[in-house]
Amino acid sequence: MTITHAQLRAFHAVASEASFTRAAEALHVTQPTLSAQVKSLEESYGVLLFDRRGRRTEPTELGRQLLALTRRYFGLETEAEQLLAATRALSGGHLRVAADAPQHVMAALSAFHRRYPGVRLSLSIGNSDEVLHQLLDHRSDVAIIADLPEDPRMFARPLRRDHLIAFVERSHPWAERGAIGLAELAGQRVILREIGSTTRRAFEAALARAAIPFGDVLEIGSREGVREAVAAGLGVGIVSAFEFGHDERVRALAIEGVAIEMIEYVACLADRRDLRLVQAFLETVWALPGGQ
């Protein structure tokens, strides 16, 4: 009894897409063909890999365990494809990039594309925890991420230092001050990203070190949402200076008396460091102004 590549590929596509229809489209096969491959795999081992609930298809507990294995399996297959593509002087291949903010990665993507226009690029944006998990789950090849924890599975080098600032709506009483003390935030509603955001972790740690009580928090799951809430006068926003940009509706405020710093890293899995596509991206990033 041997599992075929076609059966594994069919299972992986359905589990990843949560749909037989979308999986068939992704693999460019008919839905009956795909269904037959999954059914054959289930019947060969007398197992159930999916719960079919109307149009929604979800993996069973066994299916989720198998999906974790097929992610690694097809991740290795992707590495093999990238290694072979690298022999063509990086004229092909696919590089998957993750970043904790678009501002941190666009210059690197632009420089890489100019050097290697034949390489297909994809970019995903998330908070630092999400970006880290994408790397560890082999869903991205390289990442730009803040305050990366020490982990022997990772290879990382510092890219730049950044610091946190506050910002308020332009009619706010603080708008013309230019700076505030950290303690002044104790009685304010503070608008922050969700738990898992490096900005939030750094800010909360600074409050804890200064023994400043944490006040009312409005939690919003995107940088854009935080900016819009501040512009609407809902509270004081906290953001990294590099990400602040320009918006006439709000005013930036330095935080005096304390340095709330973060380090942005470029990172990859240690066992993927020698892949030519990954090497090329790292070299491109380090060649940028400010690269280490």
Interatomic CA distance for residues 54 and 141, integer angstroms: 35
Residue-level pLDDT at 260: 87
- Please report, to the nearest 10 degrees, the dihedral formed by the alpha carbons of residues 64, 66, 71, 73 taken in order: 180
Tell me the two tokens of residue 65.
Answer: 């365990």
Backbone angles phi, psi at 65, to 5 degrees: -65, -40
Q: What is the pTM of this model?
A: 0.60
* The listed CATH number (3.30.70.260, 1.10.1040.10, 3.40.190.10, 3.10.20.90) that belongs to domain 160-262: 3.40.190.10
Among the residues of the chain, which ranges form H helices? 5-17, 20-27, 31-45, 61-86, 102-115, 128-136, 198-209, 223-231, 241-244, 276-287
Going by pLDDT thresholds of 50, 70 and 90, the confidence category of residue 249 is very high
Same fold, 5-73 and 160-262: no
Q: Which residue has the tokens 């803040």?
A: 146
- Region 5-73: CATH code: 1.10.10.10
Whether residue 288 contacts residue 155, with contact meaning beta carbons closer than 8 Å, is answered with: no
Residue 205 burial by Cβ neighbours in a 10 Å radius (0-12, 13-18, 19+): exposed
Local structure of 271: helix, strand or coil: helix
pLDDT for 291 beyond 60:
no
User: Residue 224 is which amino acid?
Assistant: E
Q: What is the mean pLDDT of residues 247-267?
A: 90
pLDDT for 264 beyond 60:
yes
pLDDT tens by residue, 33-43: 999 999 999 99
Interatomic CA distance for residues 169 and 177, integer angstroms: 12
pLDDT tens by residue, 48-107: 999 987 777 899 999 999 999 999 999 888 888 777 766 566 777 889 999 988 877 898
Tell me the two tokens of residue 133.
Answer: 């998990």
Average pLDDT, rounded, for the chain: 89
User: Residue 143 is which amino acid?
Assistant: A
Residue-level pLDDT at 89: 67
pLDDT for 124 beyond 80:
yes
Q: How do 154-169 and 50-53 pair as beta strands?
A: unpaired
Residue-level pLDDT at 88: 63
Architecture of domain 83-159+264-287: 3-Layer(aba) Sandwich (3.40)
Domain ranges (residues) in the chain: 5-73, 83-159+264-287, 160-262
Residue-level pLDDT at 213: 84
Q: Which H or E run contains 245?
A: none
pLDDT for 1 beyond 70:
no
Q: How do 94-99 and 56-59 pair as beta strands?
A: unpaired
Instruction: Give the chain's radius of gyration (CA, Å).
Output: 23
pLDDT tens by residue, 186-223: 888 999 988 878 888 889 899 989 888 877 889 998 88
Backbone angles phi, psi at 162, to 5 degrees: -145, 165
